[in-house]
Structure 1
Amino acid sequence: MDIISVKQETDMKMMEILRILYEKNEILGAKVISEELEKRGYSLGERAVRYHMHILDERGLTEKIGYRGRQITKKGVSELKKGLIYDQVDFTFSRVQEKMFNVTLNPLTLQGSVIVNISSINELDAIKTINNVFESGLAVSSHYNITERNDKTYFETVCGTTIDGLMQQKGIISKPLYGGLLKVEDYTPINFIEQIAYEKTSITPLEAFTNHNNTSVLDVANDGTGIIPANFRVVPEVKKDEVIALLDSLKKIGICGVIHMGQPGESVLGIPVPESMIGIAIIGGVAPLCAAQEEGYDLDIKLADRYDEYNNMITPNYLMNLPLKKVTNPTNENKVSFILNKIFNLISQVDYDVDNEKGNIIANISYVHKEDIDDSIEVMKELYKSKPEYCMGKRYSVVETNEEDKVGLATICSLTMDGVLTKQGINSTPVYSGILDIYGSNRRFIELISYTGSSVDPHEIFIKKGMHDIHGSLNNEGKILASVHSVNYVARDKTIDTLNSLKEVGLEVLNIGKPNEYTYNAKIEKYNFGYVLSGGLNPIVAIKEQNIPVEVKSIEKIMNFNSFEEL
């Protein structure tokens, strides 16, 4: 059993109380909260609930409303969104399963609830764009809702996870595996080009990719070629006929987001499928909302956020029909590449020698215009001068490119440390990429994505979504890129010695944990310990934050350490 301190266990209970208040969205008393906690595996009597609520009140996360009970505050909602990351990483997939279980729609009567994605709409013109995508058929369902709450307009679409819930309702095991981006050419689905696994992430996969720079739903709607959000699950092959029958019944009521259903054990659109299982790709229910983002509308998209009664949703006067053609090459030779495979191969090529300070390291190479190179280097110098621990070393390299007006700007990638340790006979594994919140002397991860099951370096996702604040960290109130690495506990002393020797050349470690200990709230496997490194891209992101155009790229290639110069 993992070692959890009394404080961590108390924090987890209070975080669960905040979740209950947020999800119920009403004033609740201790009795109701105690009953809800019991359902979630926390045995906490009313008296104990009142004790925890008193602490939450003192922190300003909840407030007492007379004798009726408590409600969550804005500060409490903010804290909940940051969450206890060791709890949040596990909770994200659990939340998907919870949503699936609570789907109650009966396809025959149209009675019951479905899962919906929701987004605030600041400009009502965005609704026209969204409706155009619905008319093209690029959605899970033809049903939607437009609601008004707290002087804001919200648009709700049916989430693809509803289909998983309906299968579960019929006794069919449906296991969501990935959410990602699917390439389409001439209305024909080609293959997944990016994906993130549902498990071991604090941010839902499609949420990670809901950015106007990632999708091109409008292009697919208009011309049949582009990138759309999609998710992927597997079902047992023995249930194939039942799955087909269910999907046929759903088409009749306006739910028809299935892109492709494979054969047993057959890869689907580049994603491998286990033996005796069938892969199914479904369009992301947020596709219409992504289209509005592509046109520049400011949307705050929340995936699988709540439930709606299906027969109370708006039904257009046209039949829903996904406009995509039949997949011509379902198994696709272009298999989705997992970032961890690339990482292990690069780590294996690191031969940097700690003693003579020579050898190959892993480099990130981003690209800036030649006229901006001097300003860019000055920004990097300022960051290193102020907070050297937020940089992965004090070195950089200007790399020539094939483009006349651009140069590459290389920084040392933090995965170099895994390579150096591996060369020393220590098995060091990168576990998570994340956002580390800096507040005074306090540091904690507020977002984490596992390298396992991801096709893209998570740091690139965080950068695209603008979740960083490198310059804020200079004043001890910001957010930096960081990563979590794991080593077996028996190698801890040797690891510490090696990491200490690297500090002499500017390669610093933010934190080295103890076995079975949470490291900046990141959970480490039993019998292992974790260490945390700043992201090698922090100096590059600092440049971006100064409005200097930069094309950010991570984990690019092997370079010789001596080709770098000091800041």
Structure 2
Amino acid sequence: MEELSGTLREIFSLLYFEEGEKTSTELGEALRMRGVNVDTRTVRYHLTSLEKEGLLKKNGRKGALLTQKGVEVARRILLQERFGAPSLEVERLLCEATIDPTQGKGNAIVNMVLLPEKHLSQALELLSHLAGSSLIISPLLDILSSGTRLWHTEVPFGSRGLLCLSSRNYDVLFRRAGIFCESSATGLFQIREGAPEGFVELLSASGSTLSPGELLIRGRYTSVYEAATRGTGYVTTGIKIFPAFLYNQARHVVDLLERIGISGVVSMGSTLPSEYAPVVSARNRGICLVHGGANYVAPLVEKGLTEELSIASGLYPLENMAPPETFLRR
């Protein structure tokens, strides 16, 4: 694709970071707010050109949205905007999530794997073995049918989308409680004979456009299924830090989530252990180690059932999710 004009780049940015269709009028107003003064006719011209290239599709008067091909192009040209943590993608999800731990409902941040439909029953059987494990944050999941779209991802024909909860929901509720929380790193965490041993590898969240947990799982570094069923293996775990003087408030957030069955915390402390000092600023920081939400679906990658994993891929109603046994009985 040829080098994009400033206007076209901004249109890509608006369509990529916003969910759902956008009309030419809405895009024109958003462009003017960004200091790009173009009329609606010019916006329509650009949308028509992008549609001809297969980069977006129009949905009548509702507006236009990027196709999967368009999403791939957007990720390439918006690389710098997506770099680092929190990226604009994650920031949007953190701001718009409405999960309510007192009611057990609201839009939560979810991870998704795309799975060939023929593997669905086997996948649910695998996940049922992990449903009671302390290595996952929740046994809740849901299944999207072919043609369903979750933010940038459309479930292709012949596939299903399996959703599970992201550990980023801890960040959502920390923020809502007035606690500045930073997910500073994710690592490969060793479990031996059912007990936590500690990190063997760490990846900074600030140096990638992909989640470190996603990289570890896709790279086949994890052995979550073995850790959950035999007691020894490697899982993903995140390091979240917060002001030390807010430890009691942070503990309250964790307790609220545990009441609705979301419990992935390995340990918490009001001071930062010395071994993590090189990873984060050690001054007056509390720490929370949380198992990665994608540990739940990691066995599907480990067993070769799928390669398509996306962490923090969108928002989904918590009340629509259920344990795997619910789907196995259907």
1:292-441 pair list within 5 angstroms: 292-315=300-323
1:70 and 2:64 aligned: yes
How far the C-alpha of 1:129 sits from its partner, in A, is 0.7
Q: Which residue of 2 aligns with 1:276?
A: 284
Aligned counterpart in structure 2 of residue 169 of structure 1, from 160, 171, 176: 176
How far the C-alpha of 1:44 sits from its partner, in A, is 5.5
Aligned counterpart in structure 1 of residue 24 of structure 2, from 8, 27, 30: 30
In 1, Cα distance between equivalents of 2:188 and 2:80: 27
Aligned counterpart in structure 1 of residue 125 of structure 2, from 114, 117, 128: 128
1:110 and 2:126 aligned: no
Structure 1, 169-178 or 147-156: larger mean CA deviation: 147-156
Q: Is contact 2:188-2:222 (8 Å) kept?
A: yes
RMSD: 2.8
Aligned counterpart in structure 1 of residue 214 of structure 2, from 198, 207, 219: 207
Q: What letter matches 2:74 in structure 1?
A: L
In 1, Cα distance between equivalents of 2:209 and 2:128: 31
In 2, Cα distance between equivalents of 1:134 and 1:38: 49
Residues 343-393 of structure 1: CA deviation (Å, up to 9, x unaligned): xxxxxxxxxxxxxxxxxxxxxxxxxxxxxxxxxxxxxxxxxxxxxxxxxxx
How far the C-alpha of 1:314 sits from its partner, in A, is 1.0
Q: Which residue of 2 aligns with 1:101?
A: 95
1:140 and 2:148 aligned: no
How far the C-alpha of 1:299 sits from its partner, in A, is 3.8
1:85 and 2:82 aligned: no
In 1, Cα distance between equivalents of 2:199 and 2:5: 39
Q: Which residue of 2 aligns with 1:181?
A: 188
Aligned counterpart in structure 1 of residue 227 of structure 2, from 216, 220, 225: 220
Q: Which residue of 2 aligns with 1:474?
A: none
In 1, Cα distance between equivalents of 2:193 and 2:284: 32
In 2, Cα distance between equivalents of 1:175 and 1:42: 31
Q: Which residue of 2 aligns with 1:511?
A: none
In structure 1, stretches of 5+ residues that fail to align are 1-5, 319-567
Residues 383-413 of structure 1: CA deviation (Å, up to 9, x unaligned): xxxxxxxxxxxxxxxxxxxxxxxxxxxxxxx
Paired residue secondary structure (1:260): strand
Q: Which residue of 1 aligns with 2:16?
A: 19
Q: Structure 1 vs Structure 2: percent identity of aligned residues?
A: 23
Question: TM-score, length-normalised on structure 1?
Answer: 0.50
Q: What letter matches 1:157 in structure 2?
A: C
Q: What letter matches 2:291 in structure 1?
A: I
1:290 and 2:298 aligned: yes
Residue 287 to residue 109, structure 1, CA distance change in 2 (3 Å): same
In 2, Cα distance between equivalents of 1:29 and 1:208: 35
Q: Is contact 2:189-2:197 (8 Å) kept?
A: yes
In 2, Cα distance between equivalents of 1:57 and 1:120: 26
1:552-567 pair list within 5 angstroms: none
How far the C-alpha of 1:171 sits from its partner, in A, is 0.8
How far the C-alpha of 1:219 sits from its partner, in A, is 1.5
Paired residue secondary structure (2:132): helix
How far the C-alpha of 1:42 sits from its partner, in A, is 6.1
In structure 2, stretches of 5+ residues that fail to align are 148-156
Residue 65 to residue 216, structure 1, CA distance change in 2 (3 Å): closer
Give the number of aligned pairs: 309
Paired residue secondary structure (2:316): strand
Q: What letter matches 1:215 in structure 2?
A: T
In 1, Cα distance between equivalents of 2:277 and 2:264: 19
In 2, Cα distance between equivalents of 1:91 and 1:278: 19
Question: TM-score, length-normalised on structure 2?
Answer: 0.83
Q: Is contact 2:128-2:324 (8 Å) kept?
A: no
Paired residue secondary structure (1:135): coil
Q: Is contact 1:110-1:310 (8 Å) kept?
A: yes
In 2, Cα distance between equivalents of 1:90 and 1:180: 16
Residues 153-198 of structure 1: CA deviation (Å, up to 9, x unaligned): 1111000001111110111110111122111222222222222222
1:247 and 2:254 aligned: yes
Aligned counterpart in structure 2 of residue 50 of structure 1, from 44, 54, 61: 44
Residue 36 to residue 56, structure 1, CA distance change in 2 (3 Å): same
In 2, Cα distance between equivalents of 1:258 and 1:60: 44
In 1, Cα distance between equivalents of 2:244 and 2:31: 37
Residue 157 to residue 113, structure 1, CA distance change in 2 (3 Å): same
Q: Which residue of 2 aligns with 1:529?
A: none
